[in-house]
């Protein structure tokens, strides 16, 4: 994926770029910055802060998080076909629950949680909204559901299934700091902040040139959909400061 981003920059005929990545886009952005500092002179990370690679295998961390009676969702995704069956049974319901359940609009008890009982599935824990939030339309859901009905969910889920291999291939990045100017933003109710309660402290540990870190009140995980104006203002301020 870093190679794809490098190829994109080269195809545009520019000498450098600033990357913005949300959720799993954040690791693509920070790996690009770590591996090609000559090309990428800034990095804006949304929802997921840069955390230097450590010595503990991801699968070992999952088991520590879970205990005996819970699934960590990334661990649950590892068995090929299981999550596909869950999600592909009704792509529209899947996308409705995923988008609403990880947003700041979902009340406690209706939100996506990173841990869930072993006898349940991730979607079992999320209620569908009685009314869609203002940032999510029926047309959006029609499009998302149609695309996933066409493609299935395997491609996206396979990203999770490659986490261990990515970890194995990047021992040379152990403890590496992100030294380009950077920024971080997350929503107050972002599932990542529940999953990693010390996320803001980790920003200081790994993003040594972080210019700003912001938690947006009332927002959830889908920052650029839920709070587009606030995110644009933060990005523009960051870019003007470079």
Options 22, 31, 189, 221, the catalytic residue: 221
Residue among 64, 77, 67 nearest 24 (CA): 77
What's the rounded Cα separation, in Å, for the pair 76 and 131? 29
What residues contact 189, with CB distance under 8 A and at least 6 apart? 103, 104, 106, 111, 218, 219, 220, 221
HSE-CB of 6 using CA atoms within 13 angstroms: 13
Residue 70 pairs in a beta bridge with: 117
Q: Is 23 a catalytic residue?
A: yes
What's the rounded Cα separation, in Å, for the pair 145 and 242? 39
Q: Are 70 and 187 in contact (CB under 8 A)?
A: no
Q: Is 204 a catalytic residue?
A: no
Options 23, 86, 90, 140, the catalytic residue: 23
Query: What b-and-e string marks burial along 79-100, b requiring 16 or more CB atoms within 10 Å of the CB?
Result: eeeebbebbeeebeebbbbbbb
> Pairing relation of β-strands 70-72 and 115-117?
antiparallel
Q: Are 203 and 184 in contact (CB under 8 A)?
A: yes
Active site residue ranges: 23, 221
């Amino acid at each position: 994926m870093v190679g794809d981003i490098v190829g994109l920059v080269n195809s545009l005929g520019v000498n450098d770029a600033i990357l913005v990545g949300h959720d799993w886009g954040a690791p693509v952005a920070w790996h690009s910055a770590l591996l090609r500092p000559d090309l990428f002179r800034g990095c804006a990370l949304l929802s997921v802060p840069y955390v230097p690679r450590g010595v503990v295998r991801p699968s070992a961390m999952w088991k520590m998080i879970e205990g005996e009676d819970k699934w960590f969702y990334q661990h649950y995704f590892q068995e090929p076909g299981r999550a596909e069956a869950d999600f592909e049974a009704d792509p529209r319901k899947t996308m409705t629950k995923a988008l609403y359940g990880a947003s700041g609009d979902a009340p406690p008890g209706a939100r996506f949680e990173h841990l869930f009982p072993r006898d349940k599935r991730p979607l079992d824990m999320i209620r569908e909204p009685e009314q869609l939030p203002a940032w999510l339309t029926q047309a959006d859901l029609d499009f998302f559901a149609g695309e996933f009905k066409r493609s299935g969910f395997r491609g996206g889920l396979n990203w999770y299934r490659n986490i261990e291999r990515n970890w194995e291939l990047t021992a040379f990045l152990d403890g590496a700091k992100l030294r380009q100017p950077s920024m971080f933003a997350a929503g107050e109710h972002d599932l990542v902040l529940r999953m990693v309660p010390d996320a803001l402290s980790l920003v200081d540990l790994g993003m040594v040139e972080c210019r700003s870190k912001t938690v947006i009140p009332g927002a959830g995980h889908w920052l650029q959909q839920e709070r587009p104006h606030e995110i644009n203002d933060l990005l523009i301020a960051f870019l003007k400061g470079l």
